[in-house]
């Protein structure tokens, strides 16, 4: 188990806040031992939450040239045929994975290939489970073109009510490696996949999936 690099600034803030809280309680509330214990407990809780959220577990990846692997941990909340208006501008199968604050928040490439589209959009911070969050919230869109069958997959990082920062590592022209890191979403959100209509879906609504391990669909 490692600590993800995206969490270092947050961890430093948590450590500084905890130190100030403990020192303040000892200097200003020295006659009240209960206040000292409370400051210790609150500091420990804060540090545990930060470390848990930014954990980066070591995993054995599921790799398959004809497979589309989960880009994130979470629960499958949407499987439907829909219009994708940004890049493809045609019908696609949308599969959405909702990430709660207790999930691992590393995002990964679902397939290998070339990054042919990568864009960040400013937006709102509505609850990520709402359907319109995919088009109105702050988000990123990345499209990877498969190297052998020529098919493309779009996956979108979507911010939520708590998620206030999306990190995307992708640039147009990059070579994507299946299950390689492509970004991070801080404090809960969702990832949408837009797949070809002939993709064979291997999950159902309510399934809990693991990024880089669970097979979402097959070409």
The phi, psi pair for 100, rounded to 5°, reads -85, 165
Structure tokens given for 193: 């996949």
Name the 3-class secondary structure at 86.
Answer: coil
∠ CA 164-169-173, nearest 5°, is 140
The whole-angstrom separation of Cα 99 and Cα 97 is 6
Distance of CA 131 to CAs 38, 80, 156, 192, Å? 41, 11, 13, 11
> What token pair was written down for 80?
């439907």
Residue 115 CB neighbour total at 10 angstroms: 19
Would you please indicate which residues are annotated as catalytic (active-site) residues?
189
Q: Are 5 and 59 in contact (CB under 8 A)?
A: no
Q: Are strands 175-176 and 113-121 parallel, antiparallel or unpaired?
A: antiparallel
Answer yes or no: are the C-beta atoms of 199 and 216 closer than 8 Å. Answer: no
């Amino acid at each position: 188990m490692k600590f993800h690099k995206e969490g270092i600034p947050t961890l430093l803030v948590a450590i500084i806040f905890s130190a100030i809280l403990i020192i303040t309680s000892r200097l200003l509330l020295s006659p009240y031992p209960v206040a000292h214990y409370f400051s210790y407990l609150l500091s420990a809780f804060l540090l545990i939450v930060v470390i848990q959220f930014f954990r980066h577990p070591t995993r054995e990846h599921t790799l398959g040239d004809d497979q589309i692997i989960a880009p994130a941990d979470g629960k499958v909340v949407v499987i439907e045929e829909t219009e994708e208006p940004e890049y493809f501008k045609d019908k696609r199968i949308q599969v959405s994975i909702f990430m709660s604050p207790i999930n691992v928040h590393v995002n990964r490439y679902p397939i290998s290939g070339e990054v042919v589209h990568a864009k960040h959009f400013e937006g709102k911070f509505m609850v990520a489970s709402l359907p319109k969050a995919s088009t109105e919230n702050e988000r990123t869109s990345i499209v990877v073109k498969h190297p052998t069958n020529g098919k493309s997959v779009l996956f979108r990082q979507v911010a939520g009510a708590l998620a206030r920062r999306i990190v995307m590592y992708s640039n147009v022209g990059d070579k994507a490696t299946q299950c390689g890191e492509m970004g991070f979403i801080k404090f809960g959100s969702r990832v949408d996949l837009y797949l070809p209509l002939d993709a064979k879906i291997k999950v159902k609504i309510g399934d809990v999936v693991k990024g880089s391990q669970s097979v979402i669909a097959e070409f």
